[in-house]
Amino acid sequence: MVSFFLLLITDFQLIIMRNNNQIIFLFISFFFLASCGQKKKETTLAVSTDLNEIISYDTLRVATMYGSTSYFLFRDEKMGYDFEMVTNLAKKLNVNLKIIIGKNEGELIQLLKERKVDIVSYNFIETKELKRIFYFVLPQSDSYQVLVQNIGANSISVATELAGKYVYVKANSIFSQRLHALNEEIGGKIKIVIANNSFTNEDLIDLVGEKKIKYTVAYHNVALLHKSYYKNLDCRMPVGFNQHNGWMIRKGSSELKKAIEKWEMESETEELQSKLFGKYWEKSPYFAQRKVKIPKGAISPFDHLFKKYAPIIDWDWHLLAAVAFHESRFDASEVSWAGAAGLMQLMPQTASNFGLNKLSVFDPEKNIEAGVQYIKFLNLFFKRVENKDERIKFILAAYNCGPAHIFDAMALAKKYGKNPQVWFGNVEYFLLKLSEPEFYQDNVVKYGYFRGKLTVRYVQSTLETYEKYSQRK
């Protein structure tokens, strides 16, 4: 074997004098495989991804799903409790972060099993089966399962009243397991409907809120969060007991587990958890608006500023005022649940891009000026929309949710034969469709799931307010 390699090295020296890097690579690869061939078993055992491999590859691979607290885009900024926490973990480990979005809980589990990711950064409930193959880390607040229904005279208050009722759950989910157990307890009369696998549990809550289905099962804290969107939701009836939950890693990743547990105990991490819990779990996006004193005969206390800066974007100042009204109700000190600040509700990164800091963002004139510059920027994004009045609608939509989801809706409109340069009945229609798996999983969609109702309502309401303002003398 040694003489063989000496001969091969001699030949290689002749080749290298006249050749290229590709041959060098092939030779080294061959040398490595030949010398390690008798240690195949050891090599196979060594591929279990743990902290040393993560650091070696300089990348922490994380699987999660779109959700109200896990991961989502808000005005083109990545947000979510789980996303922000795992971003902090990657920073602590001094490695890059790679986010992989799964379509459902089963896909997240499979990605972790197949070693395609290192962590599932999503709120999974501890079960015997999952605890057998995974470690649970970063525990979150315990919660219990409840029946999600609509408030009304016929609301169910005890489990026996579920007999004969259709209750929708995901197949093989913790909710399905509990519902089947409850069904046995009351005599097997619940009509359990298995939802399409493309739907998440949060999708089912939304369907109840939209009165498309009557019942589902969810965790109380998640149901309460959705109740801020759907005031008609009733999530008072418990169907289970408190359960532990958290992120998951493989049982082979013992060093990663130790690193996460050490990170969890640090005071900075505990402080971040507390801050993010309030941001994503306690505050409703529908926040109460403080009243602002408006001078007699004026639209707002800032009419003179709207008149000063609206010409920069060739807008009627009444339209700019309408945007500010729907963003902040003319409250210059307003901070939204997502961190958007000031009259024009600028997200932190957007404010920074246009020269504002944590203090100047609350200066009415500077905030309006930066908001106008952002609108000017969005105007360039949608310059392909030739009609100015139509382009304004696209800009308003993008101002509310960011341009990414609007581009997705335009792509869908084009694919399905609608006009991608017309808002009402065309792009607006497909923005609403981005909450349905058939559409947000379409190959022309780049930015995934989006609940478009608020943005559609925002465009319509802002235009109506503008019309009302412009009629004033």
pLDDT digits (tens, 9 = 90+) for 269-325: 998 988 888 778 765 332 333 346 778 888 999 999 999 999 999 999 999 999 999
Find the mean pLDDT for residues 12-34: 38
Find the mean pLDDT for residues 253-277: 92
CA angle 81, 394, 348 (to 5 degrees): 35
Q: Which residues are paired to 60 by β-bridges?
A: 97
User: What pLDDT was estimated at residue 292?
Assistant: 62
Question: In this predicted structure, which of 32-41, 117-126, 257-266 has the lowest mean pLDDT?
Answer: 32-41
CA angle 192, 194, 200 (to 5 degrees): 125
Find the mean pLDDT for residues 17-21: 40
Contacts 24+ apart (CB under 8 A), 419-424: 421/384, 421/385, 421/386, 421/387, 421/390, 422/390, 423/390, 423/393, 423/394, 423/397, 423/459, 424/393
Find the mean pLDDT for residues 143-165: 92
Contacts of 75 (CB under 8 A, 6+ apart): 338, 340, 347, 350, 400, 401, 402
d(CA 278, CA 337): 9
User: What pLDDT was estimated at residue 2?
Assistant: 37
Contacts of 282 (CB under 8 A, 6+ apart): none
CATH number for the domain running over 303-470: 1.10.530.10
Backbone angles phi, psi at 335, to 5 degrees: -130, 125
User: What pLDDT was estimated at residue 199?
Assistant: 84
Whether residue 158 has pLDDT greater than 80: yes
User: What pLDDT was estimated at residue 34?
Assistant: 39
Asked whether the domain spanning 145-243 has the same topology as the one spanning 51-138+246-282, the reply is: yes
User: What pLDDT was estimated at residue 23?
Assistant: 38
* CA dihedral sign, ordered 34, 39, 40, 45: negative
Of 177, 81, 64, nearest to 126 by C-alpha is: 177
Helix, strand or coil for residue 311? helix
Task: Count other C-beta atoms under 10 Å from residue 194's C-beta.
Answer: 12
User: What pLDDT was estimated at residue 20?
Assistant: 42
Find the mean pLDDT for residues 353-364: 94
Identified catalytic residue from 327, 334, 369, 428:
327
CATH number for the domain running over 51-138+246-282: 3.40.190.10
Q: What is the pTM of this model?
A: 0.66
Find the mean pLDDT for residues 407-427: 97
Is the Cβ–Cβ distance between 417 and 431 less than 8 Å? no
For residue 239, the surrounding DSSP H or E stretch is: none
Q: 282: which DSSP letter?
A: I
User: What pLDDT was estimated at residue 282?
Assistant: 64
More confident residue, 110 or 41: 110
Question: In this predicted structure, which of 72-86, 134-148, 335-349, 389-403 has the lowest mean pLDDT?
Answer: 72-86
Q: How much is the mean pLDDT over the chain?
A: 85
User: What pLDDT was estimated at residue 75?
Assistant: 56
Of 192, 253, 202, nearest to 54 by C-alpha is: 253
Backbone angles phi, psi at 166, to 5 degrees: -90, 120
Q: How far apart are the first and last CA of the chain?
A: 96
Q: Which residues are paired to 192 by β-bridges?
A: 167
pLDDT band of residue 258 (cuts 50, 70, 90) is very high
Residue type at 450?
F
Of 331, 342, 257, 340, nearest to 292 by C-alpha is: 331
pLDDT band of residue 255 (cuts 50, 70, 90) is very high
Whether residue 244 has pLDDT greater than 80: yes
Beta strand ranges found along 3-161 (DSSP E): 59-64, 72-74, 77-79, 96-101, 119-125, 134-137, 145-150
For residue 303, the surrounding DSSP H or E stretch is: helix 303-309
Task: Count other C-beta atoms under 10 Å from residue 444's C-beta.
Answer: 14
pLDDT band of residue 22 (cuts 50, 70, 90) is very low
What residues does each domain of the chain span?
Answer: 2-45, 51-138+246-282, 145-243, 303-470
For residue 55, the surrounding DSSP H or E stretch is: helix 51-57
Q: Which residues are paired to 3 by β-bridges?
A: none
pLDDT band of residue 31 (cuts 50, 70, 90) is very low
Residue type at 161?
E
* CA dihedral sign, ordered 387, 388, 393, 399: positive
> Is residue 261 annotated as part of the catalytic site, yes or no?
no
pLDDT band of residue 106 (cuts 50, 70, 90) is confident
User: What pLDDT was estimated at residue 337?
Assistant: 77
Task: Count other C-beta atoms under 10 Å from residue 208's C-beta.
Answer: 25
CATH number for the domain running over 145-243: 3.40.190.10
Percent of the chain topping pLDDT 90: 63
Instruction: Please give the full DSSP string across 374-443, using - where no structure is assigned.
Output: HHHHHHHHTTT--SHHHHHHHHHHHHHH-HHHHHHHHHHHHHTTS-TT-IIIIIHHHHHHTTSHHHHTST
